[in-house]
Structure 1
Amino acid sequence: MKNKYTYVWVSFVVLVFGIIFIPRIIERMQSGTVVQKDRMSRLSFIESNGERKKVPEFSFINQDSLVITNKDYLGKVYVVEFFFTTCPSICPIMSRNLVEIKNEFKDFQNFGVASFTINPEYDTPIVLKEYAEKYGITNLDWHLLTGERDKIYELANKGFYIIAKEAPEVPGGFEHSGMFALVDKNGFMRSRLDAANNPMIYYRGTITEDQGENKEGEKEQISILKEDIKRLLKE
């Protein structure tokens, strides 16, 4: 008799659970909110050889001729880009997007930007200073950095896995990806997960929010970069 009552009680609980919760779960799965909420609720660490990818040590000169190292960014969330001032194509878009991002977080002393030139022979501190003035880059936590060419290329290609190289056949003479990297307060590279539950790793810096997408159908990622910066600032 006892087993009979136990069976009835378990059946009742299962029935109530099914009536109340199953429709909600199905609805959320159909709308994509279950996966999306899980994917959006945390930012993944980028890994290399099974270890969390940390920004390598670096030391360069900024637009004010001051020495800036990776240690100056510890305790800050920051965005990294590789660019050059004479770029005739994607760099102006990237710079405008970064200005917009920096202005949105202008009241946060623990947010910054690191812009590394891939044409350091031309982009001296004086040239970088003029470029900063042209784009209204006045924040003290945004450093436009120049230095030894080989060290910058090593930082780009090996440190961040962001393409940066001389390419005489392309407009401007240099090839780079136009991607932004996001770094947390402890110097680790971070990103959200994509639809396949893999780290995005980078954020496309060559499309504005107003555009929505480019002619190749690639969607803008500045809006989600802003969201992810906010998440890291709260950590």
Structure 2
Amino acid sequence: MNKKTNYSYIGIAFIILVFGILFVPKIVDRISDGDISRQESRSDQKAAIEKTRLSDLVFIENNGQKRKVPEFSFTNQDGKQITNKDYEGKVYVIEFFFTSCPTICPRMNSNLIQIQNTFKDFEDFGVASFTINPETDTPEVLKTYAENYGVTNPNWHLMTGDKDAIYKLANEGFYIYAAENPDVEGGFEHSGNFALIDKNGFIRSRKDEHGNPIIYYRGIISEEEQKDDDGVKEQISALKQDIKKLLNE
């Protein structure tokens, strides 16, 4: 091999070296930027898909923060410890009641039984019932109550426990009124409203005709009644519709 051929190889090698120094980093950058763009594009698409899956039900907020179910831990009718984590991934309805209630509780739980039966084929639907008379409503008492009403959903927990914790959960956690009152029939008074919770533990509701969240659903008036004596409309049918929406999210 002569010197001229050697010089040719050296020249070609030098050109390749210069090309690598000048252009390869730029190509790598462009590929990297392209990957990032594609990743961002995929993220945007995923966010768009998730957004379209959300129903028209609004999140209930306090000071701009979405209200979520507070942490809780109580004993259910089977003597098992139940926490808010047991409801993760489930759509469920919240109520506060007591088994010896002579007024609104029987109506509320009859409506909840109807809702239970409507969604009997959905494993991700449940109910959380908290007694406001835990001293009387032991797990055994709650078990009998559940059997008498026809509670069959394994995700329907009737819970008892520390009275102060239950009242704090009702009045501060959900803003659903509950109190002892010896002057009223039954010795306790409480709201007849239900709260609706989505699979991620957020309180959700539909809007009223003025565009404001209704926040809670009336639990006392049945679908069959349609209205009470004061002309107030039932909301059980609306609650059923909205449960279905959340189950589809």
Q: TM-score range by the shorter chain?
A: 0.7 to 0.9
Larger Rg: 2
**2:220 corresponds to which letter in structure 1?**
T
Shift of 1:217: 1.2
Shift of 1:174: 0.6
1:118 aligns with 2:147: no
Structure 2 residue corresponding to 1:55, chosen from 69, 73, 78: 69
1:49 and 1:117 map into 2 onto residues whose CA distance is: 29
2:233 and 2:173 map into 1 onto residues whose CA distance is: 26
1:231 and 1:68 map into 2 onto residues whose CA distance is: 26
Q: Which residue of structure 1 lines up, in the alignment, with residue 223 of structure 2? A: 209
Q: 1:79-94 maps to which residues of 2 (within 5 A)?
A: 79-94=93-108
Deviations 1:28-73 (A, max 9, x none): xxxxxxxxxxxxx600000012100000000000000000000000
1:87 and 1:166 map into 2 onto residues whose CA distance is: 12
1:187 and 1:101 map into 2 onto residues whose CA distance is: 19
1:216 and 1:129 map into 2 onto residues whose CA distance is: 35
Q: TM-score, normalised by structure 1?
A: 0.82
**1:48 corresponds to which letter in structure 2?**
N
Percent identity over the alignment is: 68
Q: Which residue of structure 2 lines up, in the alignment, with residue 200 of structure 1? A: 214
Deviations 1:74-129 (A, max 9, x none): 00000000000000000000010000001110100000000000000000000000
2:153 and 2:240 map into 1 onto residues whose CA distance is: 17
Structure 2 residue corresponding to 1:69, chosen from 74, 79, 83: 83
Q: Which residue of structure 2 lines up, in the alignment, with residue 44 of structure 1? A: 58
Q: Which residue of structure 2 lines up, in the alignment, with residue 188 of structure 1? A: 202
Q: Which residue of structure 1 lines up, in the alignment, with residue 173 of structure 2? A: 159
1:169 aligns with 2:183: yes
Shift of 1:167: 1.0
Q: Which residue of structure 2 lines up, in the alignment, with residue 102 of structure 1? A: 116
Structure 2 residue corresponding to 1:130, chosen from 132, 141, 144: 144
1:93 and 1:177 map into 2 onto residues whose CA distance is: 12
**2:142 corresponds to which letter in structure 1?**
L
Listed as ranges, the gaps of 5+ residues in structure 2 are 1-54
RMSD: 0.7
